[in-house]
Amino acid sequence: MHGLYAHPDVITAVTERFGREVLRPDGSVDRSALGARAFAEPDGIRFLEGLLHPRVGAAREEWIAAARVAEPPPPLLVCEVPLLFEAGATGLFDAVLVVTAPEEVRRARVEARGQAFGQRAGVQWDEDRKAAAADHVYVNDGDIAALEAWVADMFGRYAGRRP
């Protein structure tokens, strides 16, 4: 959904709210700069959610409609929704799977991307609450092979290939 930041109306709204400092020299949205400003300003995140969530929902519905008529149909549709619980959108999906990690691992990953962990965590449900609301949970604190095996198992289960 990062492509939504390329839409002219989104660029205009973001620039009007946060200033030209959130744009790259070519006029595209610099998501890192935007994130820093949005988290720093009162209601900045709420503004972005109000701007983007309806567009994300519409894009998801278009994608689902196209998948329904595809030949052959895909065995499974998967949506990655970082703020699923916070948006109250769990009812839009047949199942909710959460991939989590211990706080120190999540913190290191966020900070490695140059982002402020505390700001981002402050607008999200805590990990225990997400886990309690999910159908399946995977603690991603090991190697990539273990994560890939879990994903393959879940894919098989939901695509009807495993009991």
pLDDT tens by residue, 32-77:
899 889 988 889 999 999 999 999 999 999 999 999 999 999 999 9
Total number of domains constituting the chain: 2
- Residue 148: how many other CB atoms lie within 10 Å: 10
Tell me the mean pLDDT in the region 100-126. 80
Based on the fold, state whether residues 157 and 84 are members of the same structural domain: yes
Are 159 and 89 found together in one domain?
Answer: yes
Give yes or no: residues 11 and 66 share one domain.
Answer: yes
So what's the pLDDT on residue 139?
96
**Within 13 Å and on the Cβ side, how many CA atoms surround 153?**
10
Residue 97 to residue 130: CA distance in whole angstroms: 9
pLDDT band (50, 70, 90) for residue 162: low
Given 43, 74, 105, which residue is the final one in a domain? 74
Q: Which of residues 54, 74, 94 is at a domain's end?
A: 74
Q: Both 12 and 62 in a single domain? A: yes
Can you tell me the mean pLDDT for 4-32? 95
Higher pLDDT among residues 51 and 122, named by residue: 51
Tell me: do 83 and 153 sit in the same domain.
yes
Buried b (16+ CB within 10 A) or exposed e, 81-103: beebbeeebeeeeeebbbbbbee
Instruction: State whether 16 and 39 are in the same domain.
Output: yes
Please report how many Cα atoms fall inside a 13 Å half-sphere around the Cα of residue 91, on the Cβ side. Answer: 2
Which is nearest to 151 in space by CA: 98, 87, 107?
A: 98
Asked whether residue 70 falls in the same domain as residue 83, the answer is no
Domain membership of residue 3 as a residue range: 1-74
In this structure, are 88 and 68 located in the same domain?
no
Q: Say yes or no: 88 and 52 in one domain.
A: no
Model pLDDT, residue 1: 64
Percent of the chain with pLDDT strictly greater than 90: 66
pLDDT, tens digit, for every residue of 124-138?
A: 789 999 999 999 999
Can you give the length of the chain in residues?
A: 163
Query: For the whole model, what pTM was predicted?
Result: 0.77
